[in-house]
Amino acid sequence: MIILWIDPWTTTIGFAIIKKENNNYSIIDYWVLLTTPKTDITHKVLEIWSDINTIIKKYNPDIISIEKLFFQTNLKTWIDVAQARWVILYESMIANKKILEYTPLQVKKAITWNGAANKIQLQNAIKMIFRLDSIPKPDDAADAIWLAYMWALNSNNI
C-alpha cells in the first residue's frame, strides 16, 4: 500500500510517500513543494494543482491523507490555506483516491501517545521508527512523514 500524506499550506507544502507492506513501513520519498513567494493565492493554487496532479500520477498512491485545518487567529491565512487544501482534495477526488483527514491532535496522540507533544518529540519518534541517521529536513517534509505513518498505523481499521 502506498500512502501520500500532504501537510497543506500555501507557500511550503510538505509531502511524504510511505509504503506499507504487512506491518513494515518504509519511506519512499519526502520533500516540500515551494510555491512562488509573494504572489497572489490564485497563482499559488494553480502551482499546487499542477504539482499535486504530477505527484499523484508519479506515485499512484492508494490513499491520500491530508491534515485537517484548525482555526487560526489570522483569518486571511486560514482562508488561503483552506483554498490550497481544497485544490489538493479536488485533485485527489478526480484521481479517484481514498481520502482521509486527521487533526494535529490525533497525529500527536498516535505517534507519541501525547496530544501535547511538540515537533521535536514527533521528529525524534519518526527518526527512531524509521531508523534514520538524522531528522528529515525541512520540517514540513518531516511533518508529512509522521502524518503518513500515523495513517499507516490506523489503516487496519479502515
Q: Is 7 a catalytic residue?
A: yes
The SS3 assignment for 10 reads: coil
Catalytic choice (47, 67, 91, 143): 67
Catalytic choice (51, 80, 91, 140): 140
Using the 8-state DSSP alphabet, how is residue 117 labeled?
-
**C-alpha to C-alpha distance for 99 and 111, rounded to whole angstroms:** 20
**Look-up of cell digits 504487512:** 22
Q: Is 139 a catalytic residue?
A: no
Q: Is 67 a catalytic residue?
A: yes
**C-alpha to C-alpha distance for 110 and 112, rounded to whole angstroms:** 6
Q: Report the catalytic residues.
A: 7, 67, 140
